[in-house]
Structure 1
Amino acid sequence: MTGETRRPHTGRRRNEAARRAILDVAVELLGGTGDTPVTIDTIAAAAGVGKQTIYRWWPSKGAVLLEAVAERAGADIPVPDTGSLHDDLRAFLRATFRAAGHERTVSVLRHTMAEAQRDPHAREHMRAFIAGRREVLRGLLERARDRGEVSPATDLDLVVDQAYGLLWYRILAGHAPLSEEAADALARALTEQVRG
């Protein structure tokens, strides 16, 4: 025994401590600035688990990362319900841009999108992640429509595309920051657009 603390073997059942360590390490490694490529081996070593543990629970590196990103998005971005479309949009977009705009998060999101282009498992997880975030924003817009703030003729999916389109464009192209000012300007523009 080398003195290293090893987690007890848990068989096929997920050990929550090991799961949490794997997800946290995956985000940390992929968001880092080092030149070492991130692989299942590097994730397993940093998390203190065997790579077979990761493969038992996830089909690929991209799937690990996307689960971590989805969990954090749900925890970091509250869904406001102020009774005002503009205020809800502004609060939601500010929180979304703030969470996604950190340098490490931008790196993780770029990497996960790249993984989703080459790995079908990661692609599936990316679609589920995006669908979940879209559903949250669409729900906010539906509440506003029910209050009479959104024209019934408005294509809500197109509005959601515009909001997330700006976010992903800035993440992937890197030409401008995901700033509070950008969130506020987008909230104003979308509010005006949907009033009809």
Structure 2
Amino acid sequence: MTSERRPGRPRSETRRRAILAAAMAELEERGYADLTIERIAARAGAGKQTIYRWWPSKADVVLDALVDMAETRIALPDEGSLPDDLMAFILATFRQRGQRPVLLGLLAQALLDPVFAKAFRDRFLFRRRAVLRQILDRAVARGEIAPETDPELLIDVVYGVLWYRLMLDHAALDDDAGRQLSSLLLRAARPGP
């Protein structure tokens, strides 16, 4: 069996990372609404055609950058207990609050484009939920969560608070909020006497 190579140059990981870094830098400076493929290409030293060959839209470039960033900055903690794991995960998540314009830009794009909405859900939202689900599953195995507790509801509470505060910007997403949310979840999930 032979493997066929796609036409064109192979995708360079170095070039891909430069493009994603350029996209994030442009986002920090200009915001999502003013982000363009032209500016990303110029900053990365890449051709627009290279970017369009690898990604169908600016939203897809940003999604890849966001996925990479989340996987490196918000790792799966294993501190040995639900309180410590939950606190580490929520604090790391809330500390990315500077990504608010990026997240809201992608959410807006997802509302307008059903194809992108599926990619955003599957590649970012559901992957982040899966990390939190692993934390909760380990806690169930250790007997730290009542067996009748619905882990999906606990996950919804975490991301509900996160997205609600991101969208409305009415309250802080800081370490104090993270600690309060962790405490609330622990009380809700604690096994009975």
- Same fold, TM exceeding 0.5? yes
- For residues 56-87 of structure 1, give each alpha carbon's deviation from its aligned partner in whole angstroms, at most 9, with x where no partner exists: 11111111101100110010012222222111
Structure 2 spans left out of the alignment, 5+ residues? 1-6
Distance 1:17 1:68, change over 3 A: same
CA distance in 1, matches of 2:143, 2:10: 49
> Matched residues, percent identical?
47
Determine whether 1:101 maps to 2:88.
no
Kept in 2, the 8 Å contact 1:93–1:183? The answer is yes
Tell me whether 1:114 sits opposite 2:111 in the alignment: no
Choose which of 118, 123, 126 in structure 2 pairs with 1:124. 118
The normalised TM-score by structure 1 is 0.87
Letter in 1 for 2:55: W
Relative to 1, partners in 2 of residues 1:118 and 1:19: Cα closer, same or farther, differing over 3 Å? same
TM-score, scaled to structure 2: 0.88
Report Cα offsets for 1:84-139 as digits up to 9, x if no partner. 211111111111111x222xx11211112112222344323211211100000000
For 2:185 and 2:105, locate their aligned partners in 1 and report how far apart those are by CA, in whole Å: 29
Equivalent pairs counted in the alignment come to 184
| Matching of residue 164 in structure 1 with residue 164 in structure 2 | no
Alignment of 1:2-41 (within 5 A): 11-33=8-30, 37-41=34-38
Does 1:72 pair with 2:69? yes
SS for the counterpart of 1:139 is helix
For the Cα contact (< 8 Å) 1:78–1:92, is it kept in 2? yes
Kindly report the root-mean-square deviation, in angstroms, between the aligned alpha carbons of the 2 structures.
Answer: 1.9
- Aligned residue for 1:151, secondary structure, equals coil
Gaps of 5+ in 1: 1-9
Q: Give the superposition deviation at 1:173.
A: 1.1
